[in-house]
Each structure stands twice: as structure tokens, then as C-alpha cells.
Amino acid sequence: STPVTLDNLAALKAQREPIVSLTAYDAGFARLAEAAGIEVVLVGDSLGMVLHGEADTLGVTMADMAYHTRLVRRGLTDTLLVADLPYQSYTSAGQALANARQLVAAGADVVKLEGGAVMVDTVVQLSRAGIAVCGHLGLQPQSIRELGGFRIQGRDSESAARIHADAVALEEAGAQLLVLECVPPQLAADIRAAVRMPVIGIGAGGDCDGQVLVLQDVLGISEYQPRFARNFLTGRDSIQAALAAYVAAVKAREFPPPAAD
């Protein structure tokens, strides 16, 4: 097989074929994700919660992210690897560039950061330096203290318009991929149609260019299973079968279900 590239993902968007993404934090699960046909593996800072047992992602460090990115890289041959810049690691464009370079050195193909208009300068600089950027809008877990909890974003027209404008601003700055977390399905659909970059949704309804879930949620072993997630191990006898079922359900647009919106 041939490596998945950002151009391939853009082609999938153009063909309206859903892109399937999953988090992984080590080589073993990364290998299983690739074997199941996952196109994008995300080394998410969700590892602070699902691996470290913290209540949020704020304690995750660059050392953590570089370490897990190295592990995941060893498990992948062809899958695109996206790694999160953690909390407080991109407070200036210069700091972002230095830390993004560390993640690339650890094996990331793309680095992900949270935030819209305020991140434009940073995204421009990373892009100019040849580092591919994935944005992350809607529910931004690194802003959980400001948000006051894990809840849906963009419900009123003012905040929906801001998220929409943020997505356009990120694309204009050079972002090539976008994660949209916990926004109303109609907002995700509008943004998906308005930008060229593929939009990967999580808790954002079915009209996205792709879906992403946290590995532990797919396997039903998280401490707190989000309402929008699904345990794909239920009724199956292996992790491999569960991951294959997740891929098949997203490709068939059976997940997320319309009713879960």
C-alpha cells in the first residue's frame, strides 16, 4: 500500500468518501489501527485523561507528546500521523515552531493546535516553515477552565458565526485539516462546505468529511464515555474486529447515527 497524504485526504473529501481517524498512543494500537484501515492516527493530548487518569488535558507536556508520537510512529507504515501540541506549548509563534519541530522530529506528519483567529499568525509561521497544521475548533479541551466544562459549542448564532469565521481564517493561514469537536451538526455541515480542507468531526454529526474518536471510547474502556461515542467492541470478540467495525460504520455513514445528533 502507499502512504496516506494530505492530498489523498483532500481527494476523499472531493469524492465525499468519509475519512476515518482514531487516536493511538503506542506502537501496538497504532499497528492495529493501520491494519483496520484507519487513515489518520491522532496522538491526542487526550492521553492525559485516558492514559494518565487526569480529569482534563492540561497537565500533558511536550515530553509526553514527543514520547507517545515516537511510539506511534513505530507502529505505522502508511497512515498519516497527527500529533497534538499540548497546553501552553504554543503561546507564541516562536514557541509553537520550536515545539512543532520536536513533534515532527518524533514522527508527526501534521501538528494539531486548538484555537481560531488568535492562532492565525502561528499557523502562518508553521506553514511557512513547511510544517502541516491541523486546526481544532468547537469544544477546545485546553480551554476547559474558560468553557466551564465539556459541553457543546456554537449553539447560538453569534458563537456559531465565530467558529465558522475561525475555520475560514485557519484555512487562509495555511491549515490543511480541521477537527471540529462538539458543535451542532448543521454548523459542522456549513463549515465543511465552506472550506477546502477536510473537516474531521467528533460529536459534530454525520455531515463532516471524516470522523475521529478516542481509542478507549471505541473499546468501551474509558472512565467517562462521551454521549456521542460508541463502544464498537460490544458484540465482537476482538479489538481488531471492533476497529474494523468502526472503520466500516464511518465509511458507510452509519456512524454517527442521525439520532445521536
Q: Which residues are known to be catalytic? A: 181
Q: Which of 6, 78, 64 is nearest to 35 (CA)?
A: 78
Q: Which is nearer to ligand KIV, 188 or 212 (CB)?
A: 212
Quick check: 203 binds ligand KIV (CB under 6 A)? Answer: no
The residues facing 177 across adjacent strands are: 134
Asked if 84 touches Na ion (CB under 5 A), the answer is yes
- Is 84 annotated in a binding site? The answer is yes
Q: Does 44 bind Na ion (CB under 5 A)?
A: yes
Which set of grid coordinates corresponds to residue 210? Answer: 471524516
Of all residues in the shown chain, the one whose CB is closest to ligand KIV is 44
Q: At 56, which amino acid appears?
A: D
86 lies in the binding site for ligand KIV (CB under 6 A):
no
Of 36 and 202, which CB lies nearer to ligand KIV in the complex structure? 202
Q: Which residues contact 155 (CB under 8 A, 6 or more apart)?
A: 184
Binding mask 151-190 for ligand KIV (x = CB under 6 A): ----------------------------x-x---------
- Torsion-angle region of 17 (φ positive above 0: left; ψ -120 to 50: alpha; else: beta): beta
Longest dimension (CA), the chain: 49
- Out of Na ion, ligand KIV, none, what residue 23 binds, judged by CB under 5 to 8 A for its kind, is ligand KIV
H/E element, 99: helix 93-106
Residue 7: exposure state from Cβ atoms within 10 A (0-12, 13-18, ≥19): exposed
Closest CB to ligand KIV among residues 57, 122: 57
Give the binding site for ligand KIV (CB under 6 A).
23, 42, 44-46, 84, 136, 179, 181, 202, 212, 214
